[in-house]
A and B are shown apart, each in its own frame.
Chain A
Amino acid sequence: EDQVTQSPEALRLQEGESSSLNCSYTVSGLRGLFWYRQDPGKGPEFLFTLYSAGEEKEKERLKATLTKKESFLHITAPKPEDSATYLCAVQAEGAGKSTFGDGTTLTVKP
Protein backbone atom coordinates (compact mmCIF):
# COMPACT_ATOMS: atom_id res chain seq x y z
CA GLU A 1 0.00 0.00 0.00
CA ASP A 2 1.20 3.49 -0.87
CA GLN A 3 2.44 5.52 2.10
CA VAL A 4 3.48 9.15 2.59
CA THR A 5 5.14 10.50 5.73
CA GLN A 6 5.81 14.19 6.16
CA SER A 7 8.18 15.78 8.65
CA PRO A 8 8.29 17.77 10.74
CA GLU A 9 4.61 18.00 11.73
CA ALA A 10 5.07 21.67 12.57
CA LEU A 11 7.79 24.18 11.80
CA ARG A 12 8.18 27.67 13.16
CA LEU A 13 10.57 30.04 11.38
CA GLN A 14 11.57 33.64 11.64
CA GLU A 15 11.01 35.71 8.53
CA GLY A 16 14.00 35.19 6.24
CA GLU A 17 15.08 31.93 7.91
CA SER A 18 15.32 29.29 5.16
CA SER A 19 14.43 25.64 5.80
CA SER A 20 13.21 22.41 4.18
CA LEU A 21 10.16 20.20 4.55
CA ASN A 22 10.49 16.46 4.00
CA CYS A 23 8.15 13.98 2.30
CA SER A 24 9.13 10.30 2.45
CA TYR A 25 7.12 7.92 0.33
CA THR A 26 6.68 4.31 -0.70
CA VAL A 27 4.73 3.58 -3.86
CA SER A 28 4.58 0.76 -6.36
CA GLY A 29 5.65 2.64 -9.47
CA LEU A 30 5.55 6.42 -9.11
CA ARG A 31 3.36 8.23 -11.60
CA GLY A 32 3.77 11.60 -9.91
CA LEU A 33 4.49 13.38 -6.63
CA PHE A 34 2.53 16.51 -5.82
CA TRP A 35 2.97 19.42 -3.42
CA TYR A 36 0.03 21.49 -2.28
CA ARG A 37 -0.42 24.45 0.04
CA GLN A 38 -3.52 24.54 2.22
CA ASP A 39 -4.78 27.50 4.23
CA PRO A 40 -7.13 26.84 7.18
CA GLY A 41 -10.63 25.86 6.08
CA LYS A 42 -9.77 25.97 2.38
CA GLY A 43 -9.03 23.46 -0.34
CA PRO A 44 -5.44 22.53 -1.22
CA GLU A 45 -3.75 24.84 -3.73
CA PHE A 46 -1.55 23.11 -6.29
CA LEU A 47 2.14 23.99 -6.21
CA PHE A 48 4.24 21.39 -8.07
CA THR A 49 4.19 18.05 -9.85
CA LEU A 50 7.40 15.98 -9.98
CA TYR A 51 7.57 12.87 -12.13
CA SER A 52 11.04 11.34 -11.82
CA ALA A 53 14.06 11.28 -9.51
CA GLY A 54 16.38 14.22 -10.05
CA GLU A 55 13.62 16.55 -11.15
CA GLU A 56 13.41 20.01 -9.58
CA LYS A 57 10.82 22.77 -9.85
CA GLU A 58 10.78 26.32 -8.51
CA LYS A 59 8.16 28.94 -7.84
CA GLU A 60 9.02 32.19 -6.11
CA ARG A 61 10.54 31.25 -2.73
CA LEU A 62 9.72 27.53 -3.09
CA LYS A 63 11.78 24.78 -4.68
CA ALA A 64 10.74 21.12 -4.82
CA THR A 65 13.15 18.24 -5.41
CA LEU A 66 12.62 14.51 -5.85
CA THR A 67 14.64 11.35 -5.17
CA LYS A 68 13.54 7.73 -5.39
CA LYS A 69 12.44 7.71 -1.75
CA GLU A 70 11.70 11.28 -0.76
CA SER A 71 10.95 14.82 -1.80
CA PHE A 72 11.96 18.09 -0.25
CA LEU A 73 10.23 21.44 -0.35
CA HIS A 74 12.85 24.12 0.22
CA ILE A 75 11.65 27.51 1.39
CA THR A 76 14.11 30.35 0.88
CA ALA A 77 13.79 33.56 2.91
CA PRO A 78 10.16 32.87 3.89
CA LYS A 79 7.66 35.61 4.59
CA PRO A 80 4.67 35.54 7.00
CA GLU A 81 2.34 34.99 4.04
CA ASP A 82 4.04 31.63 3.44
CA SER A 83 2.44 30.38 6.67
CA ALA A 84 0.19 27.43 5.76
CA THR A 85 0.03 23.64 5.82
CA TYR A 86 2.04 22.04 3.04
CA LEU A 87 0.76 18.68 1.79
CA CYS A 88 2.63 16.05 -0.20
CA ALA A 89 0.85 13.38 -2.23
CA VAL A 90 1.83 10.49 -4.53
CA GLN A 91 0.06 8.68 -7.33
CA ALA A 92 0.99 5.18 -8.39
CA GLU A 93 1.03 4.00 -11.99
CA GLY A 94 -2.42 2.83 -13.01
CA ALA A 95 -4.08 4.32 -9.93
CA GLY A 96 -6.63 7.08 -10.00
CA LYS A 97 -6.15 8.21 -6.43
CA SER A 98 -3.61 10.40 -4.70
CA THR A 99 -2.28 9.27 -1.32
CA PHE A 100 -1.58 12.21 0.95
CA GLY A 101 0.62 12.77 3.96
CA ASP A 102 -0.74 14.61 6.98
CA GLY A 103 1.15 17.76 6.11
CA THR A 104 3.65 20.13 7.69
CA THR A 105 2.21 23.25 9.28
CA LEU A 106 4.57 26.15 8.68
CA THR A 107 4.42 29.33 10.75
CA VAL A 108 6.62 32.25 9.73
CA LYS A 109 6.98 34.99 12.35
CA PRO A 110 7.79 38.57 11.29
Chain B
Amino acid sequence: DAGVTQSPTHLIKTRGQHVTLRCSPISGHKSVSWYQQVLGQGPQFIFQYYEKEERGRGNFPDRFSARQFPNYSSELNVNALLLGDSALYLCASSLNTRRQTQYFGPGTRLLVL
Protein backbone atom coordinates (compact mmCIF):
# COMPACT_ATOMS: atom_id res chain seq x y z
CA ASP B 1 0.00 0.00 0.00
CA ALA B 2 1.15 3.52 -0.74
CA GLY B 3 2.07 5.67 2.21
CA VAL B 4 1.30 9.33 2.67
CA THR B 5 2.22 11.31 -0.43
CA GLN B 6 2.96 15.03 -0.64
CA SER B 7 3.54 17.42 -3.50
CA PRO B 8 5.61 19.22 -4.49
CA THR B 9 8.79 17.89 -2.88
CA HIS B 10 10.57 21.24 -3.07
CA LEU B 11 9.39 24.77 -3.66
CA ILE B 12 11.06 28.17 -3.87
CA LYS B 13 8.95 31.31 -3.42
CA THR B 14 9.58 34.98 -2.76
CA ARG B 15 8.26 37.06 0.11
CA GLY B 16 4.61 38.05 -0.25
CA GLN B 17 3.70 35.18 -2.56
CA HIS B 18 1.15 32.47 -1.93
CA VAL B 19 1.78 28.71 -1.78
CA THR B 20 -0.40 25.60 -1.86
CA LEU B 21 0.88 22.27 -0.58
CA ARG B 22 -0.93 19.00 -1.21
CA CYS B 23 -1.24 15.74 0.69
CA SER B 24 -2.85 12.36 0.03
CA PRO B 25 -3.35 10.17 3.10
CA ILE B 26 -2.91 6.44 3.41
CA SER B 27 -5.87 4.62 1.87
CA GLY B 28 -8.61 4.24 4.47
CA HIS B 29 -7.30 7.03 6.70
CA LYS B 30 -9.77 9.81 7.29
CA SER B 31 -7.72 12.24 9.37
CA VAL B 32 -4.97 14.50 8.05
CA SER B 33 -2.72 16.77 10.10
CA TRP B 34 -0.19 19.38 9.00
CA TYR B 35 3.05 20.21 10.78
CA GLN B 36 5.85 22.73 10.22
CA GLN B 37 9.40 21.65 11.01
CA VAL B 38 12.18 24.19 11.18
CA LEU B 39 15.74 22.88 10.96
CA GLY B 40 16.94 21.53 14.29
CA GLN B 41 13.50 21.48 15.90
CA GLY B 42 10.65 19.04 16.25
CA PRO B 43 7.50 19.35 14.12
CA GLN B 44 5.00 22.02 15.21
CA PHE B 45 1.27 21.33 14.82
CA ILE B 46 -0.62 23.55 12.36
CA PHE B 47 -3.99 21.88 11.61
CA GLN B 48 -5.92 18.65 11.93
CA TYR B 49 -8.84 17.70 9.69
CA TYR B 50 -11.17 14.75 10.09
CA GLU B 51 -14.05 13.95 7.77
CA LYS B 52 -13.52 17.33 6.06
CA GLU B 53 -13.93 19.31 9.29
CA GLU B 54 -11.22 21.19 11.18
CA ARG B 55 -10.61 19.42 14.49
CA GLY B 56 -7.61 21.35 15.74
CA ARG B 57 -5.53 24.43 15.04
CA GLY B 58 -2.08 25.27 16.31
CA ASN B 59 -0.60 28.64 17.14
CA PHE B 60 -0.10 29.89 13.59
CA PRO B 61 -1.31 33.16 12.02
CA ASP B 62 -4.39 33.42 9.84
CA ARG B 63 -2.13 33.44 6.79
CA PHE B 64 -2.19 29.67 7.18
CA SER B 65 -5.32 27.83 6.10
CA ALA B 66 -6.21 24.31 5.06
CA ARG B 67 -9.02 22.16 3.81
CA GLN B 68 -9.83 18.50 3.32
CA PHE B 69 -11.61 17.12 0.29
CA PRO B 70 -14.24 14.34 0.02
CA ASN B 71 -11.50 11.86 -0.94
CA TYR B 72 -9.68 12.84 2.32
CA SER B 73 -6.78 14.51 0.54
CA SER B 74 -5.82 17.90 1.90
CA GLU B 75 -4.31 21.24 0.95
CA LEU B 76 -2.34 23.65 3.10
CA ASN B 77 -2.34 27.26 1.92
CA VAL B 78 0.00 29.98 3.12
CA ASN B 79 -0.55 33.59 2.07
CA ALA B 80 1.81 36.56 2.17
CA LEU B 81 4.89 34.41 2.66
CA LEU B 82 7.57 35.54 5.07
CA LEU B 83 11.21 34.48 5.22
CA GLY B 84 10.39 32.70 8.49
CA ASP B 85 7.95 30.40 6.69
CA SER B 86 10.91 28.54 5.21
CA ALA B 87 10.65 25.03 6.62
CA LEU B 88 9.78 21.40 5.96
CA TYR B 89 6.00 21.03 5.84
CA LEU B 90 4.84 17.61 6.90
CA CYS B 91 1.51 15.92 6.38
CA ALA B 92 0.46 13.05 8.63
CA SER B 93 -2.51 10.74 8.27
CA SER B 94 -4.28 8.61 10.85
CA LEU B 95 -7.17 6.21 10.76
CA ASN B 96 -9.45 8.32 12.92
CA THR B 97 -9.32 10.63 15.92
CA ARG B 98 -9.02 8.02 18.68
CA ARG B 99 -5.68 6.43 19.59
CA GLN B 100 -4.41 8.00 16.45
CA THR B 101 -0.93 6.92 15.49
CA GLN B 102 0.11 9.40 12.81
CA TYR B 103 2.06 8.32 9.75
CA PHE B 104 4.05 11.03 8.03
CA GLY B 105 4.72 11.80 4.41
CA PRO B 106 8.12 12.81 3.01
CA GLY B 107 7.37 16.50 3.41
CA THR B 108 7.56 19.57 1.19
CA ARG B 109 10.68 21.70 1.58
CA LEU B 110 9.67 25.37 1.21
CA LEU B 111 12.28 28.07 0.78
CA VAL B 112 11.15 31.70 0.88
CA LEU B 113 13.60 34.24 -0.54
Residues of A within 8 A of B (CB): 4, 31-32, 34, 36, 41-46, 49, 51, 87, 89, 91, 95-103
Other-chain residue from B6, B45, B99, B109 in contact with A98 (beta carbon distance below 8 A)? B45
A52 and B43 CA atoms in complex are apart in Å by 23
8 Å CB contact of A97 from B33, B88, B99, B105: B33
| Contact of A46 with B103 in the complex, beta carbons under 8 Å | yes
Question: Which residues 78-113 of B sit at the A interface, judged by CB distance below 8 A?
Answer: 88, 90, 92, 97, 99-107, 109
Chain B residues whose CB sits within 8 angstroms of the CB of A89 once the complex forms = 42-43
A42 CA to B40 CA, complexed, in Å: 13
Do B104 and A45 touch across chains, with their CB atoms under 8 A apart?
yes
Q: Mark B38-59, 1 if CB is under 8 A from A, else 0.
A: 0011111100101000011010
Would you list 8 pairs from A and B whose C-beta atoms are within 8 A, ordered by A residue?
A32-B99, A32-B101, A41-B107, A41-B109, A42-B107, A45-B104, A96-B56, A100-B44
